[in-house]
Structure formats: structure tokens, C-alpha cells
Amino acid sequence: MSEASKLLVCTFSGGRTSAFMGKFLKEHPKYKDFDKVFIFANTGKELPETLEFINKCDKEWGLDIVWLEADVQYEKGVATVFKIVDYNNASRDGKPFEDMLNKYPLPNNMASNCTRELKQRPIEKFVKSLGYDEVITAMGIRWDERHRESNTAKEQNIIYPLIYDLKVDNKFIRDWWERQPFDLQLKDYEGNCDLCFKKSLKKRLTIIKERPNVSDWWQQMENQFSNETIPRFDLRTNLTIEQLVEMAKHPFTQAKDLHELNKQQMQMFDFETDCFCKAS
């Protein structure tokens, strides 16, 4: 660490947008004087394709991504810390998430314990351990998502390169990945955490229909850790995982990958055949 340098933290969620931002930050001259660290916090409930994609980005672009997992401290009043893992030994069975549930209530639409304990705190503790006086955090929020920008970003030293350095929207990101030699092998509605309660009902039903076993862990956790105050993950629709599984067995309007849908529509309009009335 150089005394004159600042640390730029790039939060790597595992999606296409955060991956693009990581490459942009590594290569753009504006950030050349920063020390940089690229961090992925694994909850254990990311889809396998997400982990493979992160590993591929790391190898192709030389990001030296730090893989973190929450190390939950069960003693009352002692905050969650972190442990460093890698692609090979990162949890794929939900263990960090389950460890969190052994201390904290079921996360829900109004209280994202999972984000706080499995993402924010491990990252904060790790960054603090690096000993920098000045830390700037880059968030992968696009121009078309700028309503999500924090009102206290300046006070928290948060920057949004994909809003202010580039006005990037979802179409730009998907088109950019179309031109790359590899891509995230997930539809845009699948996201990272496989059955996150923040996803819309349509998306969750579609995921359950396409990946029937994905609900097993969530149903087990909901049954094991529910209580009278927070009986289920989803307090917005008030549907249990068991109810979602049953609903997915019946007809419903499924979520679509909008980028793929747009491509199909363009191909349909571009298709042309010869006919006798065609001018020659």
C-alpha cells in the first residue's frame, strides 16, 4: 500500500453490470492512481452459473477478486466478520446464509438481514483490515437505475461510474456482452441469489418451474426458522415457499428474458424471402 494512494473498492455482485464495471475501473485512466480491490461476497445461495462467471471474469481480466463469506459470531453484541475463500471452496449449499439464520431472524422485504450480514459487514470488515485512510466504493448501478442512488453517497464516499462516467443502461450492457467471448449463462430474471424474496412473484414462479429443486433449501429454512413475528421470507405477498411451489404447478404468465425476446423480434422483422412482386 502506497501512503499517497487511495483504495477503490469494486463490489462484484456476479451480474453482468458489476462485471462490466470491474473491467471499466481496471482499465480507465481516470482511476489509474487508485489502489483497487475487487470483492465478491458469497452467500452460498448464488446460482452455479454466477460463480463460474465470476471465476471466468477473474481469469480473463486479471482482477484478483477477493472471495469473502460471512463468519457469523454467535455471541450477543459481537458483529459478523469475514473469512476468505475462493472459487473452489466457496459454499454452494447455503451454509453462510444458514449460519446467519441461526442468529438473526428470517430476512424479508422490510429487513434485509441477509444483505447486511452476508454482504455489507464482511466487505466492510475486510476493507477496514487493509488499513487505508481513504476508501471509495464503486457501486454498479446503471443510468437507467439512477433512482437507486443513495442520498448519502457523498458522505459515504460512494461513486457510480455507470451513471456519471458512462450513461450505461441495460441494453448497453447486454449488447456489450453479446460481443464478448464469454457471458453469464443466466436469463436476466434469474439474477444471482437463486430464489431471493425481492424478486417479483412472476420471476420466482418461473425459476421454480424451470429449476424444481431450487425451492428445497428455502422451504427448509422457512420451516425451521419461522416465528410468529416473521413467519415467512416474503411479507409482501405473504406467500410461503410451499405455496409458491404449488402455484408453479399451475398455469401462469412466465417471466421472459427481455434481451432475448427483443433479439427474436428483430430477427423476425429482418427475415426476408423472395417473392414475385419484389423489385429487381
Is pLDDT at 267 greater than 80 in this prediction?
Answer: no
Contact (CB, 8 A) for 237 and 200: no
- pTM confidence score: 0.90
Domain spans of the chain, in order of start: 1-186, 189-270
**Which is nearest to 202 in space by CA: 238, 251, 259, 262?**
251
Assign 97 a pLDDT band (cuts: 50, 70, 90): very high
136-148 tens-digit pLDDT: 999 999 999 999 9
Q: How many other CB atoms sit within 10 Å of the CB of residue 32?
A: 9
Could you give the CA distance from residue 277 to residue 269 in angstroms, rounded to a whole number?
A: 18
CA 107 vs CA 79, 123, 175, 230, 236: distances in Å = 17, 19, 34, 8, 12
At residue 71, does pLDDT exceed 50? Answer: yes
Tell me: pLDDT of 272 over 80. Answer: no
* pLDDT for residue 261: 67
- Please tell us whether the domain made up of 1-186 is placed in CATH 3.40.50.620: yes
Element (H, E) at 83: strand 81-85
pLDDT number for residue 274? 41
Mean pLDDT computed over 25-32: 95
Q: Cα separation of 194 and 255, whole Å?
A: 15
Residue 264 binned pLDDT confidence (cut-offs 50, 70, 90): low
Task: Write the pLDDT tens digit of every residue in 169-190.
Answer: 999 999 999 999 999 999 989 9
CA atoms of 96 and 43, how far apart (whole Å): 6
- Is 268 a residue whose pLDDT tops 90? no
Q: Is the pLDDT of residue 133 over 60?
A: yes
Instruction: State residue 280's pLDDT score.
Output: 35
**pLDDT in the model for residue 199:** 93
Question: Which pLDDT score, from 0 to 100, does residue 275 have?
Answer: 38
